[in-house]
DNA sequence: GGCTTACTACTCGGATACTGCTTGTCCGAGTTCAGGGGG
DNA sequence: CCCCCTGAACTCGGACAAGCAGTATCCGAGTAGTAAGCC
């Protein structure tokens, strides 16, 4: 149970796109900025395009650029764009199978085990939705040499 | 990114062991109660034994029994017992790789991206740790026919 | 009849195959830019 | 000198393999109960 590393790549790349400015940046530049395999990063960025976080422009001067301001992009948006449906615990209703399922009547209420697990997951999702990329960016700007390095290696 | 179904099995099985009473219950009975593959369920229960949530007694009248009261078993205990280290987001420090890593000086502060993701995960873990099996059991007991079915199929 | 002993059946425990998802790679469709030729 | 056309290079986009964790299964080690044999 671990998150795809594409989430980490997407988060850093989105921030880099904001730091670099508004113009479109090619996939190769974004990959080399962090030493990532460009073809696989491209695959992740396409999912961000489908999710509406990025826009892509083909052609020789094309590339990816942010579709929204980073203030409007939450961590949950990025995680869901990469991971798809983020349901950690998937209830298979085993309470209705086997001998217990044969004896007990069909339940009408939701499974208490599921309810408890979903409750915890909602806390996680809310914590993700409460943080935007702008919040992370604010932390990054406390070290200007890092943002300068981003601009130098991308622009 | 989805949780192993062993977590669901473990949660229901732990509750069943509590409902059935104190005596040891064999792996086969626990599996048939929910129609699960017994050999694989056994593998999961062994992990609960290693985590100190269950005790196992070999022999012809042996089986598994709870090592603690359900009031002292949190959902986090069960998840960690099955899943091992539950770190969804694993920071690989890509900020230090590639061109940016070559230009920018080695960072001393923790990665802001990591900090934000870990903050959300801590909310999840706290929500898991705040709920015990006794809480789930309290919800289950609102339908006595279910607990009766458990006793009938296990004992 | 009571005790000892060997046997059997049943349990857990770890070692061994199989499946699906994550990761990684490749090639094709489309677009923009540049350069050359013609008017 | 300006416009058009052809070519090429670069971009995204989706289709195609490799590696690994989760899933499932099997067989062996160990123990308690049982039954037979002996005292």
- A34 touching chain B per CB within 8 A: yes
pLDDT exceeds cutoff 80 at A15: yes
B70: pLDDT confidence band, cut at 50, 70 and 90? very high
B151 touches strand D (CB under 7 A): no
> C-alpha dihedral over B80, B81, B84, B87, to 10 degrees?
0
B22 touches strand C (CB under 7 A): no
**Which of the two residues, A154 and B126, has the higher pLDDT score?**
B126
Q: What does the pLDDT average to over A46-59? A: 95
Residues of B in contact with A75 (CB under 8 A): 116-117, 120
Q: Which residue ranges form the domains of chain A, and what is each CATH number?
A: 5-154 (1.10.10.10)
Distance set, CA B71 to CA B14, B24, B154 (Å): 12, 19, 22
Contacts of A55 (CB under 8 A, 6+ apart): A49, A64, A65, A66, A67
Residue B132 is classified by DSSP as B
- As a whole number of angstroms, the distance between CA A85 and CA A120 comes to 16
Ramachandran area for residue A87 (φ above 0: left; ψ -120 to 50: alpha; else beta): beta
Q: What's residue A85's pLDDT? A: 85
Average pLDDT over chain B reads 96
| pLDDT tens-digit map of B80-90 | 999 998 899 99
Q: Comparing C-alpha atoms, which of A139, A150, A29 is closest to residue B100?
A: A150
- A103 touching chain B per CB within 8 A: yes
- As a whole number of angstroms, the distance between CA B33 and CA A102 comes to 9
Q: Comparing C-alpha atoms, which of B18, B21, B43, B17 is closest to residue B30?
A: B17
A41 CA: nearest nucleotide by C1': C24
Element (H, E) at A104: none
Q: What's residue B23's pLDDT? A: 85
A60 touches strand C (CB under 7 A): yes
In the structure encoding, which two tokens stand for residue A155, read together? 């622009």
- As a whole number of angstroms, the distance between CA A74 and CA B39 comes to 43
In the structure encoding, which two tokens stand for residue A102, read together? 């044969």
Query: What is the chain A residue with the closest CA to B88?
Result: A2
In the structure encoding, which two tokens stand for residue A17, read together? 């796109």
pLDDT exceeds cutoff 80 at A155: no
- A69 touching chain B per CB within 8 A: no
Q: What does the pLDDT average to over A73-99? A: 96
């Amino acid at each position: 149970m671990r998150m795809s590393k594409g989430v980490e790549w997407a988060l850093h790349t989105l921030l880099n796109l904001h730091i670099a400015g508004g113009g479109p940046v090619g996939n190769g530049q974004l990959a080399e900025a962090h030493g990532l395999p460009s073809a696989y990063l491209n695959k992740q960025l396409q999912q961000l395009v489908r999710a509406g976080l990025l826009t892509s422009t083909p052609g020789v001067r094309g590339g990816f650029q942010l579709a929204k301001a980073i203030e409007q992009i939450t961590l949950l948006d990025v995680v869901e764009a990469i991971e798809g449906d983020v349901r950690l615990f998937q209830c298979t209703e085993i309470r209705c199978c086997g001998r217990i399922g044969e004896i007990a009547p069909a339940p009408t209420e939701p499974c208490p085990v599921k309810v408890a697990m979903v409750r915890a997951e909602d806390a996680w999702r809310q914590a993700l939705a409460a943080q935007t990329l702008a919040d992370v960016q604010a932390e990054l700007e406390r070290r200007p040499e890092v943002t300068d390095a981003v601009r130098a290696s991308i622009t």
